[in-house]
């Protein structure tokens, strides 16, 4: 396992005397991606600003390679730790290459003139992030996604051991989000850089982080692997989700279910019913769904959206009680939609249910 490169011990962060988050203990190893998640205003950015000494710590310490950062010179910090922020760059007449070149700041002389080696490192960073074609373009005239990538290249050119990014994926489309996060993965794996970032996209946090730090109610609530954090109702609690349901396995949320007497009965299974559930939810029609196994791919969606759900235990054939229950609910519905085309041994009861429905309409 890699060495611990950054630690925070009982760190409290905030503005002025107002503590926003307290008691933060972080240990970040080289080559590891740590993502900080939490609700708006929870203090994620404040933590990053404190680690990077933009804000003074209100309590506790932050150490890099076992040295307290307050004992390090700004110059030494600049050589170990670089940042990529969402601040808009308003600099006039600077090409993307000029911007990336500023990453060499801690390494250049009194006047900041780049050496041949500095230039090489700048170009490498630009090639790695795929922005070489933008080198002569004015930073103000490129898209948000490109600008974010340029700022990442700048941070890479600084040759840090720790890379800190504040919401690097904001403003980016899905393709650019994935590209950027893949670059971070590469940096962590190939260059052994420790990455600390904040993310709003939980699905991406789940897929790209090695560890996740959750901020809730003025404290570091939990730290763990994505598997540990994305389990049970924890994410729902963390964000206090009230108008919808978070599905940990998908890393995403469903809208709030429509309550009431079911008007439609949906026979689904194997993921076939998901589109129908969402469509009914959008139209504001309360519905019942069944009979779905608890290990079915669409079970979490059906559970979140159906006013009534008839579910069977995983890997068990559907019991006759559940079938009877389904029939009685179906009889009260004005419409039945059968989404699945396949009936096998395990969901044989659904076929019975469907035939029952057909006989009802014929009668």
Partner 1 sequence: MSQKRAVRWTLCFSILLILTAVFAVLELVSGSTNITISEIFKAFTGKNAGSAANTIVMEIRLPRTISAALLGGALSVSGFLLQSFFNNPIAGPYVLGISSGAKLTVALAMMLTMQSGIFLNSAAMVGAAFIGSLLSTGAILLLSGKVKNMAQLIIAGVMIGYICSSVTELAVTFADDANIVNLHNWSMGSFSGINMENVKVIALITIITVFAAFMLSKPMSAYQLGESYAKNMGVNLKAFRLALILLSSILSACVTAFAGPVSFVGIAVPHLVKTAFGTAKPIIVIPASFIGGAVFCLACDLIARMLFAPVELSISTITAVFGAPVVIAAMLNRREQKRGV
**Residue 126 Cβ, how far from partner 1 at the closest point, in Å?**
13
Closest by CA position to 286, among listed 246, 248, 323, 332: 332
E strand or H helix that includes residue 62: strand 59-64
**Residue 188 Cβ, how far from partner 1 at the closest point, in Å?**
20
Residues 300 and 250: their CA atoms lie apart, in Å, by: 9
Q: Which two tokens stand for residue 118?
A: 């500095």
Residues 38 and 13: their CA atoms lie apart, in Å, by: 15
- Would you count residue 362 as binding partner 1 (CB under 8 A)? no
Strands 244-247 and 252-255, how do they pair?
antiparallel
**Residue 270 Cβ, how far from partner 1 at the closest point, in Å?**
47
Stretch that binds partner 1, among 48-56, 123-131, 211-219, 301-309 (CB under 8 A): 48-56
**Residue among 163 and 302 whose Cβ is closer to partner 1:** 163
**Residue 36 Cβ, how far from partner 1 at the closest point, in Å?**
17
Residues 49 and 37: their CA atoms lie apart, in Å, by: 15
The site map against partner 1 for 84-113 (x = CB under 8 A) is: -x-x-xxxxxx--xxx--x--xx-x-xxxx
- Would you count residue 141 as binding partner 1 (CB under 8 A)? yes
Residues 269 and 288: their CA atoms lie apart, in Å, by: 13
The site map against partner 1 for 51-90 (x = CB under 8 A) is: -xxx------------------xxx-xx--xxx-x-x-xx
The residue length of the chain stands at: 363
Q: Which of residues 150-169 bind partner 1 (CB under 8 A)?
A: 158
**Is 266 in contact with 293 (CB distance < 8 Å)?**
no
DSSP class of residue 13 equals: E
**Residue among 106 and 270 whose Cβ is closer to partner 1:** 106
| Contacts with 119 (C-beta within 8 Å, 6 or more apart), sequence order | 101
**Residue 169 Cβ, how far from partner 1 at the closest point, in Å?**
19
Residues 34 and 6: their CA atoms lie apart, in Å, by: 11
**Residue 215 Cβ, how far from partner 1 at the closest point, in Å?**
20
DSSP class of residue 247 equals: E
**Is 81 in contact with 161 (CB distance < 8 Å)?**
yes
**Residue among 86 and 223 whose Cβ is closer to partner 1:** 86
- Would you count residue 148 as binding partner 1 (CB under 8 A)? no
**Residue 302 Cβ, how far from partner 1 at the closest point, in Å?**
45
Positions touching partner 1 (CB under 8 A) are 49, 52-54, 73-75, 77-78, 81-83, 85, 87, 89-94, 97-99, 102, 105-106, 108, 110-113, 135-136, 140-141, 158
């Amino acid at each position: 396992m890699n060495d611990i490169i950054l630690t925070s011990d009982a760190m409290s962060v905030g503005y002025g005397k107002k503590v926003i988050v307290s008691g933060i203990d972080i240990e970040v190893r080289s080559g590891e991606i740590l993502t900080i998640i939490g609700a708006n205003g929870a203090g994620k950015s404040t933590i990053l600003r404190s680690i990077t000494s933009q804000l003074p710590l209100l309590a506790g310490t932050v150490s890099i390679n076992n040295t307290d950062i307050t004992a390090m010179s700004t110059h030494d910090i600049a050589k170990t730790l670089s940042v990529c922020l969402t601040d808009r760059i308003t600099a006039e007449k600077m090409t993307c290459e000029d911007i990336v070149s500023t990453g060499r700041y801690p390494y250049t002389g009194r006047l900041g003139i780049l050496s041949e080696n500095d230039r090489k490192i700048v170009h490498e960073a630009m090639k790695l992030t795929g922005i070489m074609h933008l080198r002569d373009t004015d930073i103000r005239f490129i898209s948000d996604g490109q600008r974010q990538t340029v700022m990442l290249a700048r941070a890479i050119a600084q040759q840090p051991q720790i890379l800190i990014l504040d919401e690097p994926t904001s403003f980016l489309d899905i393709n650019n989000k994935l590209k950027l996060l893949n670059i971070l993965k590469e940096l962590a794996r190939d260059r052994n850089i420790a990455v600390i970032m904040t993310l709003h996209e939980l699905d991406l946090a789940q897929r790209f982080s090695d560890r996740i730090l959750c901020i809730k109610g003025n404290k570091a609530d939990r730290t763990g692997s994505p598997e540990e954090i994305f389990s049970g109702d924890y994410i729902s609690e963390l964000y206090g989700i009230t108008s919808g349901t978070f599905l940990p396995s998908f890393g995403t949320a469903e809208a709030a279910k429509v309550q009431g007497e079911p008007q439609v009965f949906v026979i689904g299974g194997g993921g076939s019913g998901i589109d129908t559930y969402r469509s009914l939810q959008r139209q504001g029609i309360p519905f019942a769904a069944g009979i779905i196994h608890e290990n079915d791919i669409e079970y979490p969606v059906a559970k979140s959206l159906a006013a009534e759900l008839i579910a069977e235990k995983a890997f068990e054939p559907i019991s006759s009680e559940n079938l009877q229950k389904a029939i009685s609910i179906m009889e009260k519905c004005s419409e039945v939609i059968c989404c699945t085309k396949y009936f096998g041994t395990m969901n044989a009861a659904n076929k019975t249910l469907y035939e029952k429905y057909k006989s009802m309409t014929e009668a």
